[in-house]
Amino acid sequence: ILTGLLLAMHYTADTSLAFSSVAHTCRNVQYGWLIRNLHANGASFFFICIFLHIGRGLYYGSYLYKETW
């Protein structure tokens, strides 16, 4: 979440400037390339964890337990 906030401070949602704002973040912001990579890898890791969590619930059949719901 912290990296997303840092990236949002330098991002422009305008369609003609969006790519330029990402390039600006990577080139001109101090450690902007690192913030962008941390954000992308952190998001990927988060979705892998969610996928594994759902898969574990399906494998062990915890959706059948009334206490789960």
pLDDT single digits (tens) 27-39: 999 999 999 999 9
The reported pLDDT for the residue numbered 67 is: 85
Nearest to 31 by CA among 56, 3, 66: 3
The reported pLDDT for the residue numbered 36 is: 96
Could you report the per-residue pLDDT of 5-28, keeping only the tens digit for each? 999 999 999 999 999 999 999 999
Instruction: Report phi then psi at 61, rounded to 5.
Output: 70, 30
Q: Strand, helix or coil at 16?
A: coil
Residue extents of the structural domains in the chain: 2-68
